[in-house]
């Protein structure tokens, strides 16, 4: 048996929007402890790692471990139909091989999605010793990414002991955002050694969908390493993204 409910459908709506921005299909791993997902985007440049404990749900029942293969684009379209004040319930029907999504508001609407077989492969976790660890307000990072999109297709992130410099350069101009370590936007700032790396804005822009589910983001990177962005979900759990770096010659 698997039943999971949110009193506010917007919670699941924002989470699915953040995951489906990067991957089209994925396996949700369900267990008595909660729901997890780890998947790479089709180009294998980026990865999303999602975890939501049972305590994050208003009601949760799961008596066994299992996988639920879902077309995330299809689920995203359904959960976007939730209105203000709607609750949302997920229920698994193994006999029909379907996931039921029920939206409850002025009326009760139930959608059934056929499960898909995506196999049992799960990308390994990525363990990297990062030189830079920054906690920043999610809206601040989102605004910087949106500004950089006007100028370029990628950004450079440069961390020194005193400040975080994010820059973008294109054919028609450039952008520089310098955030001192004492400024309010930087909630935490640790630099083991200075580092600078480049990352594609196309992917970072998609990752900003997670801002709808989180107020802060933990950003970790190093010279020539992937960047790791951890969005803490207010109800519990997290959405974590990893993005491979661009080569230095691009900047």
Domain boundary among 66, 81, 114: 114
- For residue 172, the model assigns a pLDDT of 86
* Residue 127 belongs to some domain of the structure: no
For 66, the domain range is 2-40+54-114
pLDDT tens figures, 53-90: 999 999 999 998 999 999 999 999 999 999 999 999 99
Question: pLDDT class for 127, splitting at 50, 70, 90?
Answer: confident
Q: Is the pLDDT of residue 92 over 90?
A: yes
109 and 145 in a common domain:
no
- For residue 131, the model assigns a pLDDT of 95
Q: Can you spell out the DSSP letters for the chain? A: -EEEEESSHHHHHHHHHHHHTT-SEEEEEEETTEEEEEEE-TTSSEEEEEEEEGGGSSEEEE-S-EEEEEEHHHHHHHHTT--TT-EEEEEEETTTTEEEEEEESSSEEEEEEE-----S--PPP-----SEEEEEEHHHHHHHHHHHHHH-SEEEEEE-SSEEEEEEE-SS-EEEEEEETTSTTEEEEEESS-EEEEEEHHHHHHHGGGGGG-SEEEEEE-TTSPEEEEEE-TTS-EEEEEEPPBPGGG-
208 and 156 in a common domain:
yes
**What predicted TM-score, i.e. pTM, was given to this entire model?**
0.93
**141-145, long-range: CB < 8 A, 24+ apart:** 141/208, 141/211, 141/217, 141/219, 142/208, 142/211, 144/177, 145/201, 145/204, 145/205, 145/208
Question: pLDDT class for 104, splitting at 50, 70, 90?
Answer: very high
Are 207 and 41 in contact by the 8 Å Cβ rule? The answer is no
* Residue 126 belongs to some domain of the structure: no
101 and 60 in a common domain:
yes
- For residue 37, the model assigns a pLDDT of 97
- CATH code: domain of residue 69: 3.70.10.10
pLDDT tens figures, 134-187: 999 999 999 999 999 999 999 999 999 999 999 999 988 999 999 998 999 999
* Residue 108 belongs to some domain of the structure: yes
* Residue 124 belongs to some domain of the structure: no
Share of the chain above pLDDT 90, in %: 85
108 and 26 in a common domain:
yes
Q: How many domains, in total, are found in the chain?
A: 2
* Residue 71 belongs to some domain of the structure: yes
203 and 95 in a common domain:
no
92 and 160 in a common domain:
no
- For residue 97, the model assigns a pLDDT of 95
């Amino acid at each position: 048996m698997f039943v999971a409910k949110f009193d506010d459908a917007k919670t699941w709506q924002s989470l699915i929007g953040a995951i489906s921005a990067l991957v089209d299909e994925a396996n949700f791993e369900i267990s008595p402890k909660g729901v997890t997902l780890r998947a790479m985007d089709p180009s294998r440049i980026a990865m999303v790692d999602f975890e939501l404990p049972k305590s994050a749900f208003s009601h949760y029942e799961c008596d066994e471990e299992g996988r639920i293969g879902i077309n995330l684009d299809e689920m995203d379209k359904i959960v976007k139909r939730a209105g203000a004040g709607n609750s949302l319930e997920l229920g698994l029907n193994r006999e029909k091989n379907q996931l039921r999504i029920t939206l409850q508001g002025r009326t009760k609407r139930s959608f059934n999605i056929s499960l898909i077989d995506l196999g049992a492969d799960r990308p390994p976790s990525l363990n990297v010793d990062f030189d830079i660890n920054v906690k920043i307000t999610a809206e601040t990072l989102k605004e910087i990414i949106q500004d950089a999109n006007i100028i370029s297709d990628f950004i450079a992130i440069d961390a020194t002991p005193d400040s975080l410099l994010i820059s973008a350069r294109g054919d028609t101009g450039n952008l520089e955002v310098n955030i001192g370590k004492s400024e309010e936007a930087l909630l935490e700032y640790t630099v083991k050694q200075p580092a600078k790396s480049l990352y594609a804005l196309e992917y970072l822009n998609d990752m900003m969908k997670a801002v709808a589910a989180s107020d802060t983001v933990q950003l970790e990177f190093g010279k020539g390493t992937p960047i790791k962005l951890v969005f803490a979900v207010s109800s519990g759990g997290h959405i974590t993204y990893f993005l491979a770096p661009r080569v230095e010659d691009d900047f």
